[in-house]
Amino acid sequence: MSRSPFVVHSSLGAQEVLLNLLESNQIQLDPARTTVLFDDQQRSVLKVAGEKQAYTLVGRIPFRTGRLPNNGLVLMVQGDQRLRRPYLVAVTDPRWMPGARIGDARRFASWLRSPGTQSWVAEFGKGTLDAEPMFFPITLRDSAPVGADTAVRGEGSSAAAQLGKVGPHVLGEP
């Protein structure tokens, strides 16, 4: 069980990433040291984490842009693929959504998955917040990611390993 203080907010994406990290590494947060902000979707999570000298998990983009004042916290882990939340595109079944423009939806989905678009995604926003792109290309089942370095590029340690250390830090997804 991790004895490190941790602040959880009500962002579904952050909760999904956190639960996956905890489950896959067989880590349990100490309920006595865990603060859950049920009504907060990142608005005050960093303030509370700073006050409690706790860890938390927030998105890299709002943290880096200052949309979430960092309250003296530092980004601790970045580049670990397990911290990424994919954006998905799905084409509906016309039986469930009559009138849907299925042909247009399929063309859009195909364009999003195309090597050219994925290369663009791999470069989009590089140098804006840091050296990383804003978003990361997808990996298609039968191919490698297009235009992306998929190696874990953390600071020599994984996000899960960092949970055991105490201090005011943010685990941020790329």
Per the prediction, the chain carries an average pLDDT of 77
Q: In angstroms, rounded to a whole number, what is the distance separating the alpha carbons of residues 11 and 13?
A: 5
What is the pLDDT, as a whole number, of residue 150? Answer: 28
* 56: pLDDT strictly greater than 80: yes
When pLDDT is cut at 50, 70 and 90, the band that residue 41 belongs to is: low
* Global confidence as pTM: 0.64
